[in-house]
Amino acid sequence: MGVLMARRVPGALLIGIVATTLIAIVVEQVFHIGPSNTSGATGWNLNAPVLPGTPVALPDLGLVGAFDFGAFGRIGIISSLMLVFTLVFTNFFDAMGTMTGLAKAADLSDERGDFPRLKGALVVEGFGAVAGGATSSSSNTVFIESASGIGEGARTGLASMVTGVLFLLAMFFTPLTQVVPLEVAAAALVIVGTLMASQIRDIVWTDFSVALPVFLTVLVMPLTYSIANGIGVGFLSWVLVRSFSGRIREVSPLLWVVSAGS
């Protein structure tokens, strides 16, 4: 994939994923590695690249609209509010960090470096999160993998619409999509991470009050497997460094509230 990206081949990521998956299928057929298990570290993670008996299957929609609020009554009002706040906080900052990074990668940020038309994007994000819960699936949030489309030239949103339609079609090809092993997807994410890392050049590294929060943010995200955790640590360290270095007036009240929640 890296060679194809370096040679600026159109569709480099998709070509790399398909080619690597085919190689993985051959390796599995020859060596019969099988999936990994708790008794040993060898094997494919998550799923083995084995061709399914049939590439098409009807999706299981039995959990769509399966609402159950009984847990709220058991844990109480305070715990319920804290649970909802935690989910909103995590989803919000996860989306904010992802959208800001993607806007930078696509060179769509305004003159201040902010995300353009942020309100509309957050409204769509909110509806997506609600829709995800209504279908008993994970939150339909913005994903950092969108950088792969940006790397191919996506800018107007048409690529996202096409991706959504293809995901609907993929519901009927679930057995085929499960052929792609996690190792192949991980390689693609390395390329995506490389595309996103190019934005580090815009950080004012000469200002330690900026450099330290940024470094902690970048460090905590992979260590905790959470964008939201990284952003929370970044907010908290930003407020502390600015406050105790005599620049407390530069910290907005909203940052104090967010840092307290972190």
- Residues above pLDDT 90, as percent of the chain: 17
Q: Chain-centre distance of CA 200, in angstroms?
A: 18
Out of 109-113, 128-132, 181-185, least confident range: 109-113
DSSP tag of 144: G
Residue 119, helix vs strand vs coil: helix
Q: CA 62, CA 135: separation in Å to the nearest integer?
A: 9
- State the Cα–Cα distance between residues 199 and 197, nearest whole angstrom: 5
Structural contact between residues 141 and 129, judged by C-beta atoms closer than 8 angstroms: yes
Tell me the pLDDT tens digit for each residue of 190-213. Answer: 888 887 787 788 888 999 999 999
Distances from the Cα of 250 to the Cαs of 209, 237, 239, 243, 260, in angstroms?
A: 11, 14, 9, 8, 17
User: What pLDDT digit, counting tens, does each position of 232-252 carry?
Assistant: 898 899 999 999 988 888 888
Q: What is the pLDDT of residue 237?
A: 93
Report the DSSP beta bridge partners of residue 35.
44
- Residue 37 phi/psi, 5° resolution? -145, 175
**Which one has a higher pLDDT value, 257 or 204?**
204
Each domain of the chain, given as residue ranges in start order, spans 203-262
Predicted confidence at residue 213, as pLDDT, reads 93
Confidence at 78, pLDDT banded by 50, 70, 90: confident
Look at residue 262 in the predicted model and tell me its pLDDT.
64
What is the greatest pairwise CA distance in the chain?
67
CA–CA distance from 173 to each of 22, 157, 170 (Å)? Answer: 17, 25, 5
Residue 175 corresponds to which tokens in the numbers above? 């057995």
The rounded distance, in Å, linking the Cα atoms of 212 and 216 is 6
Assigned token pair, 5: 């990206």
What's the alpha-carbon Rg for the chain, to the nearest Å? 21
- In this predicted model, what pLDDT tens digit does every residue of 29-53 receive, in sequence order? 998 888 876 555 678 887 889 888 8
